[in-house]
Amino acid sequence: MSSSTGNISRESRDLYQELGAEYDLDERSYSFGGRLFSVLSVLDSYALLDRIDPEEFVKDEQMPYWAEIWPSAVTLSNFIADELDMENKRVIEIGAGVGLVSLVAASKGASVLATDYSSEALRFVRYNAWKNGLELDHERLDWRNVQCGEQFDVLFAADVLYERVNLLPIANALDKLLKPDGRAYIADPRRSLAEQFLGIASENNFSITSIARSYPGKDQGVHVNIHMLERKR
């Protein structure tokens, strides 16, 4: 970011006020790797359903999943903080939502491009980066039609395997976005569709290693698998 600290502070304050006028906001603290992160999201993502334009929904069937921080994102963030070396890595997150995973990767020295189909999500990504004193790039990306010409060392995604129609496009996006020796880490709460996705990825020349983790929820934990994918040698 090229703005001065004062300008960033002013812009972030203005953006917070804009978001507050449009949404009921929820700001929470998370600790990863001994660092505290403050993350702004939407208090009730279901309240956004009334905002969906019927014509746009028919075209894209896009739901406001971006507005909520899911257990898979928290679990993947913990994994990145505790187990991955991000220093000097070029990283992309697809389906970034409000940017939690991207923030943690950036805090560990990665150069990060946070992407989401929703331009609204990217406003929260921008604010959260400012709030936490981190630099990252952000842009809109449709994994059905990837226009990004860059390839990355690492790709992250959390809770993106929720619709069958997305499985092949996501596998194709991995192929386009990863360097030949790149790795993807996809966190999923053990949905049955994830197994179908892994089959598609294997058919598309990716090897898979799955790592079992859990997210401690209020009532009962959520089991999360982190799938590491890399091209077969």
Which residues have C-beta within 8 Å of that of residue 214, sequence separation ≥ 6? 75, 221, 222, 223, 224
Write down the pLDDT at residue 10: 85
Average pLDDT value for residue range 47-74? 68
pLDDT tens-digit series, residues 24-54: 899 999 999 999 999 999 987 655 656 555 5
Write down the pLDDT at residue 58: 41
The whole-angstrom distance between residue 38's C-alpha and the CA centroid of its chain comes to 16
From first CA to last CA, the distance across the chain in angstroms is 38
pLDDT tens-digit series, residues 183-220: 999 999 999 999 999 999 999 999 999 999 988 766 56
| Confidence class for position 60, pLDDT limits 50, 70, 90 | low
pLDDT tens-digit series, residues 80-106: 999 999 999 999 999 999 999 999 999
Select 5-231's CATH number: 3.30.1370.160, 3.30.450.90, 3.40.50.150, 3.40.50.1110: 3.40.50.150
Share of the chain above pLDDT 70, in %: 86
User: At 160, phi and psi to the nearest 5?
Assistant: -110, -5
| Confidence class for position 3, pLDDT limits 50, 70, 90 | very low
- Domain boundaries, given as residue ranges, for the chain: 5-231
Question: Cα–Cα distance between 67 and 73 in angstroms, integer?
Answer: 12
Comparing 7-11, 106-110, 218-222, which segment has the lowest mean pLDDT? 218-222
Half-sphere exposure of 226 toward its Cβ, with a 13 Å CA cutoff?
22
Contact assessment for residue 215 and residue 221, using Cβ atoms and an 8 Å cutoff: yes
Residue 2 falls in which region: left (phi positive, over 0), alpha (psi -120 to 50) or beta = alpha
Q: Is the pLDDT of residue 140 over 70?
A: yes
Which residues have C-beta within 8 Å of that of residue 19, sequence separation ≥ 6? 25, 40, 123, 124, 127
Structure tokens belonging to residue 131: 């709030």
pLDDT tens-digit series, residues 167-186: 999 999 999 999 999 999 99
Contacts of 8-14 spanning 24+ positions with Cβ under 8 A: 8/130, 9/130, 11/130, 12/127, 12/130, 12/131
